[in-house]
A and B are shown apart, each in its own frame.
Chain A
Amino acid sequence: MIPASFEYRRAGSIDEAVELLGSDPDAKLLAGGHSLIPMLRLRFARPGLLVDVDRLDDLRYVRRDGDRIAIGALTRHAQVAQDAVLRESCALLADAASHVGDPQVRHRGTIGGSIAHADPLGDLGTVLLTLDADAVAVGPDGERTIPLREFFKGRFQTALGPQEMLTELRVPAVDAGAYLKHVRRSQDWATVGVAVARVDGRVQVGLTAMGMTPLRAEAVEEALAGGATSAEAAARAGEGTAPESDSSASGEYRAHLAHVLVRRALDELAGV
């Protein structure tokens, strides 16, 4: 399977990438390419211009920034998985990154590319949403910060404008957390994934593959804040969700899995 033809330009800076995005209405950014190239090959995506930003090595970093941890958008999954700062202060993100795809995918795929692609089955979006992370994007009018709660707009749809580039993600240090994912086979996308994190004493819970975007399990969070046990709170995991049926699971089974995985994740959190 060969992609359809496209123009290719390599951006030497963020500003150049933004400018190139403005030069063609069908332009798309290329980072590690591990979401986009499979779609190009299947011809689900047929951009007129690919703007390659993968040489912008300045955007590969993890560093403490005040009370948050800043992660460059082009940081590869393998780096996120092994990063000492994240391992110490936000281990669930490192752990989730260590289970994205397989080693070859993690050598290439980037956290920013994964988030901007906004696949509803992706793991990292759920973790970042659960953490109330912020996304930083640069466009023709400069830089802006987008809370993750406002970032995902639908399946493969985000708040990023056509000429905006995601440059950084900011996450809080967490007291404890976990990401559990159910897969039918190694390397599969999540049938359902559950992120839990204790941030400033409050328990936050997110769900993968329970709707068109990553979701917060708000009913579970409210129950926990009201003093419910893990089992009582987990029983509300399906509230406000709309899991789809597909070849790997029925929506009903996904709702069941969400219940079970939320309970296990909360138990794991309580045991820490």
Chain B
Amino acid sequence: MMQVSIVVNGERREAEVEPRQLLVYFLREQLGLTGTNVGCDTSSCGACTALLDGESVKSCTLLAVQADGREVTTIEGLANDGELHPVQQAFQDAHALQCGYCTPGFVMASVSLLAENPRPTEDEIRQALEGNLCRCTGYHNIVKAVRIAAETA
């Protein structure tokens, strides 16, 4: 077992983990943060996207020990005092979800995109979200939501 200390959504969390523990299961099962979903489990679908030191990562393809000493942000860490993050609000306003399973991953990937490129073109948005899959075929409104978020942020 390894001792890890990870700042998750602004709060330092100390825990014992097996080295093989994947970050997504650490978040979901040890910390109870179940907003980060497991989808394909093969680094393809992006449902497990979280931020590591501000950058989007697939938390099913990261060991919890690799996040030791670093900062992780999950979907639960975005809203501020009950007020939705601009990307979350835009997803709601643009009706950018149907079943919602992929949504936390899309929101986190979009937050990472806008941090790197605050005014992306539609094409850049589509390229930047290529690592996230939506099986309700909701891409049109997802792209619209990111555009709205970019304009309002």
Contact = CB atoms under 8 A, between A and B. Distances in A.
B118 interface: no
A33 B20 contact: no
Interface string B1-44: 01000000000000000111010010000000000000001111
Task: List the 5 closest A-B pairs by CB distance, nearest first.
Answer: A102-B131, A8-B19, A107-B55, A3-B20, A186-B130
B112 interface: yes
Interface in A1-50: 1-8, 10, 30, 33-34, 37-38, 40-41, 50
A52 B20 contact: no
Nearest to A41: B41
Interface residues of B, number: 30
Interface residues of A, dominant DSSP: mixed
B43 A6 contact: no
Contacts of B18: 5
A103 interface: yes
A251 interface: no
A101 B131 contact: yes
B61 A34 contact: yes
Contacts of A33: 61-63, 66
Interface of B: 2, 18-20, 22, 25, 41-44, 46, 49, 52, 55-58, 60-63, 65-66, 109, 112-113, 128, 130-132
A108 interface: yes
Interface residues of A, number: 29
Contacts, number: 83
Given A33-B62, A107-B56, 4 more contacts: A3-B22, A104-B56, A186-B130, A187-B131
Contact of A187 (B44, B56, B128): B44
A46 to B, nearest CB: 11
Given A33-B62, A187-B130, A104 B19 contact: no
A102 B58 CA distance: 10
Contacts of A7: 19
A108 B52 CA distance: 10
Contacts of B132: 102
A2 B60 CA distance: 10
A235 interface: no
A216 B66 CA distance: 37
A54 B55 CA distance: 16
A105 interface: yes
8 contacts: A6-B20, A8-B65, A33-B61, A41-B42, A52-B66, A103-B112, A107-B56, A186-B130
B58 A104 contact: yes
A37 B43 CA distance: 9
Contacts of A107: 52, 55-57, 112
Given A38-B43, A187-B44, A187-B131, A50 B19 contact: yes
Contacts of A187: 44, 130-131
A134 B147 CA distance: 43
Contacts of A3: 20, 22
B53 to A, nearest CB: 9
B72 to A, nearest CB: 13
B66 A6 contact: no
Contacts of B113: 103
A37 B61 contact: yes
Contacts of B62: 33, 37, 108
Contacts of A38: 42-43, 61
Contacts of B55: 78, 107
A105 B65 CA distance: 18
A216 B142 CA distance: 42
A105 B20 contact: no
B41 A54 contact: no
Contacts of B65: 8, 10, 52
A108 B43 CA distance: 12
B149 to A, nearest CB: 16
